[in-house]
């Protein structure tokens, strides 16, 4: 009986390790680089300082939670992705742009990839993805970073 349990545990651990390796390799195919991830604390400090150049912050998820962000809506919906494209068409290619969703962990988010692919395909040169690896509640709200006045 003990050997069956050990075999079961071995296969469970091996499967978990294999799944983690598969996830890691898929991360390498994400349409952003590590350099394009913006730490939330850095954006929060910029937003708190009115003398700092303010980036255009686009909410590409369910709600514009972050102070000053422009609500686009979920970019997994083609209509919302087109709204983002229309707004981007009015900007210089070197505009300072930040996008965020925060609905769920990056690995499952259906909104960040279409937006990042769009920014890249439109040849923008100064765009960042707000690094909210868990979600906007854990990585922004719970840290008491600047919120939109109409949020939650």
> Domain containing 39: what range?
31-143
How confident is the model at residue 29, as a pLDDT?
Answer: 82
The pTM assigned to this predicted structure is: 0.80
- Give the position of tokens 């765009």: 127
Both 50 and 110 in one domain: the answer is yes
Which range scores top for mean pLDDT: 11-20, 82-91, 103-112? Answer: 82-91
Report if residue 70 sits inside a domain: yes
Q: What tens digit of pLDDT does each residue of 123-147 get? A: 999 999 999 999 999 999 999 999 9
Q: What tens digit of pLDDT does each residue of 90-107 get? A: 999 999 999 999 999 988
Both 35 and 23 in one domain: the answer is no
CATH code for the domain in which residue 51 is found: 3.40.250.10
Both 21 and 68 in one domain: the answer is no
Both 43 and 80 in one domain: the answer is yes
Both 67 and 81 in one domain: the answer is yes
Report if residue 114 sits inside a domain: yes
Both 76 and 13 in one domain: the answer is no
Report if residue 51 sits inside a domain: yes
Both 97 and 83 in one domain: the answer is yes
Task: State the CB neighbour count (10 A cutoff) for residue 121.
Answer: 10
Report if residue 148 sits inside a domain: no
**Domains: count for the chain:** 2
Both 24 and 53 in one domain: the answer is no
**Largest Cα–Cα separation, the chain:** 69
Q: In the predicted model, what is the mean pLDDT of the chain?
A: 86
Whole-angstrom distance, CA of residue 122 vs CA of residue 28: 21
Specify which residues 37 forms β-bridges with: 129
Report if residue 95 sits inside a domain: yes
Phi, psi of 79 (to 5 degrees): -60, -40
Strands 37-38 and 127-130: parallel
3-class state of residue 70 by DSSP: strand
Reported as a pLDDT band with limits 50, 70 and 90, residue 152 is: low
Task: State the CB neighbour count (10 A cutoff) for residue 16.
Answer: 10
Whole-angstrom distance, CA of residue 25 vs CA of residue 145: 32
């Amino acid at each position: 009986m003990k050997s069956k349990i050990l075999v079961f545990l071995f296969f469970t651990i091996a499967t978990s390790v294999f799944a983690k390796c598969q996830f890691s390799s898929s991360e390498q195919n994400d349409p952003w680089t590590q350099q394009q991830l913006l730490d939330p604390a850095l954006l929060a400090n910029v937003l708190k300082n009115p003398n700092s150049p303010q980036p255009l912050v686009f909410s590409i998820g369910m709600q514009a939670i972050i102070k000053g962000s422009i609500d686009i809506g979920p970019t997994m919906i083609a209509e919302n992705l087109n709204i983002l494209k229309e707004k981007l068409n009015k900007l210089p290619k070197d505009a300072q742009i930040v996008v965020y969703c925060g609905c769920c962990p990056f690995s499952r988010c259906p909104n960040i990839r279409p937006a990042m692919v769009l920014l890249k395909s439109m040849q923008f040169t100064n765009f960042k993805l707000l690094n909210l690896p868990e979600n906007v509640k854990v990585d922004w709200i719970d840290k008491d970073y600047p919120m939109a006045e109409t949020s939650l």
